Every structure is written in C-alpha cells, then in structure tokens.
Structure 1
Amino acid sequence: MNLSILFSEQYRKIARDGLWDNNVVLTQNLALCPLLAVTGTATNGLGMGLATMVVMVASNAAVSVSRHLIPSEIRIPIFVLLIAALVTLVDIFLNAWMHELHKVLGLFIPLIVTNCVILGRAEAFASKQPVMPSMWDGLMMGVGFTAAMVVLGAMREISSAGTLFANASVLLGESFRFLETTLIPEYKGFLLMALPPGGFIMLGFMVALKRLFDRKAVAKSTEPSMIDVIVLEEGA
C-alpha cells in the first residue's frame, strides 16, 4: 500500500474510528462475551484479540472483493458463511501451531463467528467500499479491539496475581518470553479480579476514563484561542 494513501483523510478517519472514536469495546460495548471470559491475563487477551483481528481483516477483504457478486437478498447468510470459513481456518491454525493458547481460548475461538462486530463491519463498511479501505477498516477495528483486550487483561492480571503476560512463552511461543514480568513479588492476589465480575468492574473504569478524556478534548476544542480573544477585544 502506498504510504501517501495511509495518510489521506479517509484512512486517518478510519484509523481514528477503529482505535478510539468508534472503538469496539469502549464505545460500542460489543464483543463483551469473549472480552470478559478470556481477559483473565494480558496474554489471553492478546491471543484472542489477534485471532479476531485476522478474521476481521480477511472477512472485510473477502466481502469487499465479492460485493458485486452477492445478491442483496441473501448477503447476510453469505457473509456469515465467509466469516465461519475464516474462523475455521484460524481455529485449525491455532490448534496446530499454538495448541496451549487454543486450549485456553477454547470455545471462544469458534464463537468469533457470532461476533457482531465482524458481521457489522462487513455489512456497514466492506460491502460498500473497495478492498484496501475495507482491509484497513478491519485492521484498525481489530487493533482497537486487541488493545482493549490487552489493557483489560493487564489490569485484571496485575490486580489479581501481580504479574503481567504470565505464561506468554507457553501460550504464544518462546519468542514472547520477554513479555513475562512479575510486578508485585509474593503478591497473594485478589481473586475477584480474575473472575467475570472483576472484568465488569475494570471495563467500567476503562469506559469511564475514555468518556472523561473525550469530554476534556471537546471542552478544550471549544475554548477560545488567544488569537480569537485578541480579535474580539480589538473588535470591541
């Protein structure tokens, strides 16, 4: 992809929507089932997020390529079939090459098929846009989702066990061993944070912080600049 295209206004807006303004988790509050179930550690959140991102990019590309060939009356079932085929390939790959991670994520990998984010982006964006913007949209939505999964998993893991990216080398491979960190030695743990209620609590904090940042950004953008103040005073 030409780098100049990536810096165009359209691509910047797509990136901003996926990473922040229209973030899958923090703004749309979607995909909460895998989010709360597998983010007991940052490692699990990273694995699930990457798997979902791959499916999202590939499904957006497939839908965009075939958008003129799919009758509008049956587009939703066909989108689901495309997504299911891609999820099956990801499931087989994880089972073959990252078996320990596959065992941890378990049923939630096939359930990517039912993730309304993937189908929603296919319907709302990829079915109406060319291939490159569609793939970029899938990538940015996937990165935003993965980032939220990792941050939530990290917050829960630190508060529940005092570690960060525990068992990364076992689940993701030896190349990820450098991520494994013990932040609080001899920490006895806080069990609630490792359970789904802890996920709800931490997610609530994350959503609240995002809205606080958004409000401050809006307030700052509406404040008159020094130049505007000087112009108004001179006009008066």
Structure 2
Amino acid sequence: MSVKIESEPLFSAKNLKLITDPINKNNPITVLVLGICSALAVTVKLEPSVVMAISVIAVITLANVITSLLRNTIPSRIRIIVQLVIIASLVILVDEILKAFAYDVSKQLSVFVGLIITNCIIMGRLEAFALGNKPWPAALDGLGNGIGYGVILVIVGFFRELLGSGTLWDYRVIPESFYISNGGFYENNGLFILPPMALIIVGIIIWIQRSRTRELIENE
C-alpha cells in the first residue's frame, strides 16, 4: 500500500505568518528593539533609508537561505564564524553593487553598509531560525524581518527629510514661497535632522503600534 505525502503549500497560513509577524507583532525595531543604530544613522533622508532597507532585506534573506542549506554540514563549534563569513560576503557584494549603480547613495551610507555585518537582527535570525528550518521558511523569515526593519527606516526617513529639509528624495516638496525668507509662513524644523529625532519618531511609532495591537499590551 502506497502512502501519499502531502506537501505544505508554499504560501500556507503558517508560512505567510513568517512574513507578516515581523512587520507588526514581532517587529525587530519596535518590539524587539534591535537595529536602532541604523534608525539613528541613515534616516536623515528618505533615499538612503530606502537603499539601506533594500540592502538589509537582500542580505538577511539570502543569508537565511544559505545558512539553511548548509545547516546540516556546519559544525556547531564554528557556526558563528560561518554565519559571519556568509553575512560578510553578502555585504561586500551589496556594497560593490551600490558603488557601481548608486555611488552617491553609497557615499551617503558610508561605513553603515559595512556595519550590516554586525546587525544583530541578521545574526539573530540565522541563529534562531535558519539553522533549524528548511530554505523556503528561512527565506520567508528573512524577508519578513527585513521588511519589518525596512518599513520603520522608511517611515523615519520620510518624516525626517520632509519636516527637516522640506524635500523627499531630494525633490522640493514644500514650495519655496511657503518659507518665511520668501514672505511665507513656514520654516524647516532643524531638530528633525538631528539623531535624537529618530528615536522620538520610533517612540511615536511604538506608541501607535502598541495602542492598536492588544497582544503587545497583554505581553508586557
């Protein structure tokens, strides 16, 4: 008698949860409080925020997949070293791509692209998930956590550039005629381009998120 083995759908509810949970209930920045340094350093403008978000999404997703594929061959005693080598190789690749196709943004991000290697979100997902799961769930977990991280960066970068410089993606959004120097009523808020404002915006996001998500309040 033959036994029929049913495979789980690629986008089952369980797999989709790996993407959706890190965006809200398990967000790496607002819930787990990881990756705060990036939120401070690269979110003065929207463009570097988006580029950093895409870079981290790519690195964490690919690193999760590669680690999952190698999980049964990596000796336990050197797994951290192997994970660092995987992450570092991907970060170098991303850095070279940025220098080739987005050199100005690469200069704005400066050393912070290299610091993706030490981003505790990536190392945490490799250690906690990729080492114990198959490649497809590992890819979805990396994608979800990368998106959850990136969404916060983009939101912070959006408000800091708009209210601090009056631009978005370096394009003038608030008309020059609105400014006091031109007889208008508006002036950019210089506080938004300072690092403390990133923490304040993240704090506001956390407050909004917790007020709308009962599970986060119950878990406190």
Establish whether TM, by shorter chain, passes 0.5. Answer: yes
Residues 1:45 and 2:44 are matched in the alignment:
no
Determine helix, strand or coil for the equivalent of 2:116.
helix
Equivalent residue, structure 2, for 1:207: 206
- Deviations along 1:28-84, one digit per CA (max 9) or x if unpaired, are 111111111110112111011101111001100110000000011111111011111
Equivalent residue, structure 2, for 1:77: 81
Equivalent residue, structure 1, for 2:173: 182
Shift, 1:100, TM fit: 0.6
Determine helix, strand or coil for the equivalent of 1:5.
coil
Equivalent residue, structure 1, for 2:59: 55
- Deviations along 1:79-127, one digit per CA (max 9) or x if unpaired, are 0111111111111111111101100000000000000000000010011
CA distance in 2, matches of 1:161, 1:216: 37
Which structure shows the bigger proportion of residues in helix conformation? 1
Residues 1:5 and 2:4 are matched in the alignment:
no
* TM-score, structure 1 as length reference: 0.81
Given the superposition, is the C-alpha separation of residues 217 and 103 from structure 1 closer, same or farther in structure 2, using an over 3 Å criterion? closer
| Percentage of identical aligned residues | 33
Letter matched to residue 10 of structure 2: I
The total of aligned residue pairs comes to 204
Equivalent residue, structure 1, for 2:30: 26
Q: Higher relative CO (CA 8 A, sep ≥ 6), structure 1 or 2?
A: 2
Task: Tell me which of 133, 138, 154 is aligned to 2:142.
Answer: 138
Letter matched to residue 197 of structure 1: P
CA distance in 2, matches of 1:194, 1:27: 24
Q: Quick check: 1:161–1:188 contact (8 Å CA) kept in 2?
A: no
CA distance in 2, matches of 1:89, 1:5: 28
Determine helix, strand or coil for the equivalent of 2:28.
coil
Letter matched to residue 173 of structure 2: T
Letter matched to residue 195 of structure 2: P
Shift, 1:205, TM fit: 0.7
CA distance in 2, matches of 1:217, 1:92: 40
CA distance in 1, matches of 2:216, 2:210: 10
Determine helix, strand or coil for the equivalent of 1:207.
helix
Q: Give ranges in structure 1 of 5+ residues lacking alignment.
A: 167-179, 220-236
CA RMSD of aligned residues (A): 2.1
Q: Quick check: 2:68–2:131 contact (8 Å CA) kept in 1?
A: yes
Shift, 1:197, TM fit: 1.1
* TM-score, structure 2 as length reference: 0.87
CA distance in 2, matches of 1:38, 1:25: 14
Residues 1:111 and 2:127 are matched in the alignment:
no
Residues 1:96 and 2:100 are matched in the alignment:
yes
